[in-house]
Amino acid sequence: MIAGGWFGAMEFARVVFYGRLGRQALAMFALEPQRWRGARVLDCPGGPGSLSALLRAEGLDVTAVDPLYALNEAELERRALSDLEAAMAQLAGDPAIRPDFDLAACRQEHLEALETFLADRRAHPERYVAASLPALPFTDRSFDLVLCGHLLFSYAPCSAGGLMREPGLDLAWHRRALAELLRLSRRAVRIYPAHTMERQARRHPYAEALLAELPAGWQGRFAATAYDQGHDGLTDVLDLEHTSA
């Protein structure tokens, strides 16, 4: 369920099963694991990434969720490799990509993330739950921290700064999805990216709208991250906190 892609020139008919290294995800979310040791964490969508394995090694109690976790290991690996190669092919032909962006290194990082993901899922199958937004099978306030990378805002329609062919995941879907993420969290929700998927990235209009509509008990801000997504402009995460936490 995790997205793959950098630029508005790229366009997808469905959400891509595309993972990242745990250290890349830490940069995306501006997350310091030592500050969250012992916390319950939800990674939604987890995709074929290695964030869960990294956080578990750092002493966090982490669960990942993705609809494709219903597949067996061989099918998961085939789907991840297929989506990776399709994304790499699009990137190689995209005139908007930065000339200094190393696609070969990028591909290798995704392969490393996939290998770690498969091993961790094998070791902790109960921590990889098959489900999808905007309805997840957990009780209210089940987690201290909820992380959502490369789904919200990324898979908005292209006309709204996302990667999806029209109609994409529209603003109404985003409202339902964010309400579900907030329902599950006791303390914080972080969503990356909060910017458009363009070479010269700007703040995503859906992110601005949702921040303005936060329910009582929540406050939020946009925060810059150190993650290099291969474009110029913003690299923002939307950082939401429960005011009573």
**Which residue, among 184, 157, 229, 219, has the nearest Cα to 11 in the 3D structure?**
157
pLDDT of 6: 33
Inter-residue contact 133 to 44 (CB < 8 Å):
yes
Residues belonging to the chain: 245
> Where are the domains positioned within the chain?
22-242
Give 175-204 as a DSSP string.
HHHHHHHHHHEEEEEEEE--B-SSSEE-B-
- Paired sense of beta strands 236-242 and 185-192, if any: antiparallel
Tens digit of each residue's pLDDT, the chain (245 residues): 333 333 334 677 889 998 999 999 999 999 999 999 999 999 999 999 999 999 999 999 999 999 999 999 999 999 999 999 988 887 776 655 677 778 889 899 999 999 999 999 999 999 999 999 999 999 999 999 999 999 999 999 999 999 898 999 999 999 999 999 999 999 999 999 999 987 788 999 999 999 999 999 999 999 999 887 766 777 899 999 999 86
Q: How far apart are CA 7 and CA 196, in angstroms?
A: 8
CA–chain centroid gap for 2, Å, is 6
Could you tell me which CATH number the domain at 22-242 has? 3.40.50.150
pLDDT of 10: 62
Q: How far apart are CA 5 and CA 113, in angstroms?
A: 16
pTM, 2 dp = 0.93
Q: Which helix (H) or strand (E) holds 82?
A: helix 73-92
